[in-house]
A and B are shown apart, each in its own frame.
Chain A
Amino acid sequence: GDSVTQMEGPVTLSEEAFLTINCTYTATGYPSLFWYVQYPGEGLQLLLKATKADDKGSNKGFEATYRKETTSFHLEKGSVQVSDSAVYFCALRGGGANSKLTFGKGITLSVRP
C-alpha cells in the first residue's frame, strides 16, 4: 500500500538557518504530493502541493520538488523564522479514484530567535 516516510525529529534551528525536511514515498500509480503544517493550537493547513513529476510547489518561502526518480518530496526553506515553528506533515494522495491522504508521522520544527 501507499506510505510516506519522514525524517525523525524534532528539529531545532536558529533563525535565518536553512531548512530541509526529508520526505520519501511509496505509491502505486501517479500520486499527488503535499506538505501540511500545523501551527501551535491550530488545525492542519495545506502548505504546498505538487501533482506531477518535476512540479515544484511553493508557498511562504517554502519549496518542494516532486522527484519521481528518487520518490522524494523534500521541503526546503532558505531562511527560517521563529513563526515557522510548527509540525510539518508530508502526505500523498493516490492517483485515480483513490481519494484519501496518506501522511508521514510529522516532524516538529522549533526555530530559536
Chain B
Amino acid sequence: GAGVSQSPSNKVTEKGKDVELRCDPISGHTALYWYRQSLGQGLEFLIYFQGNSAPDKSGLPSDRFSAERTGGSVSTLTIQRTQQEDSAVYLCASSYFHGENQPQHFGDGTRLSIL
C-alpha cells in the first residue's frame, strides 16, 4: 500500500514568507507526527496528533509554527514569517495509535530552504 506522502518535496522561499507543508499519512493510521531534521540539531520532534487533536505540541520552536489535521487524515504544518534558521528537512510520520509496539513510518520529507 501507499506510504506516508509529503509535499512539496522541495521548497525554496524568501525570508519573511509563509510556507505550508503537507503530510498524507498511511490510510488507517490515527497517530501523526512532525519532526525536523537539521544539520546542527539532528532530528527533533515538533508535534503529535491523535486523530484531529494535538496532545503534544511541545516541540514547536516558536509561535510562528502551527499545525492542523483535518478528517483524521491530512496534516498541514505552517511556518509564518520564515527565518533562515527554519531551513531544514521536515519529516512526517504516522502509526496505528500510539502504542509502544506501533512503529512510526516516515515520509521522504520536505526540504525547506529559506533564502
Residues of A at the B interface (CB closer than 8 Å) are 32, 34, 36, 42-46, 49, 51, 89, 91, 93, 95, 97, 99-106
Contacts and interface: CB of A to CB of B under 8 A. Distances in A.
Interface of B: 31, 33, 35, 42-45, 48, 50, 55-56, 59, 91, 93, 98, 100-101, 103-109
A105 B42 contact: yes
Given A44-B91, A46-B103, A106-B42, A100 B33 contact: yes
The secondary-structure label for the interface of chain B is: strand
A106 B100 contact: no
Main secondary structure of the interface of A (DSSP, over half): strand
A43 B108 contact: yes
B42 A51 contact: no
B52 to A, nearest CB: 15
Given A42-B108, A99-B48, A99-B98, A104 B31 contact: no
Contact of A44 (B31, B42, B50, B106): B106
A13 B59 CA distance: 36
A110 B82 CA distance: 35
Contact of A100 (B59, B101, B106, B109): B59
A45 B43 contact: no
A54 B35 CA distance: 29
Given A43-B109, A101-B45, A103-B42, A51 B100 contact: yes
B22 to A, nearest CB: 15
Nearest to A95: B100
Nearest to B48: A99
A32 B100 contact: yes
Nearest to A94: B100
Contact of B43 (A43, A46, A97, A103): A103
A89 to B, nearest CB: 6
A106 B101 contact: no
A42 B9 CA distance: 12
Contacts of A93: 100
A97 to B, nearest CB: 7
Contact of A43 (B31, B48, B106): B106
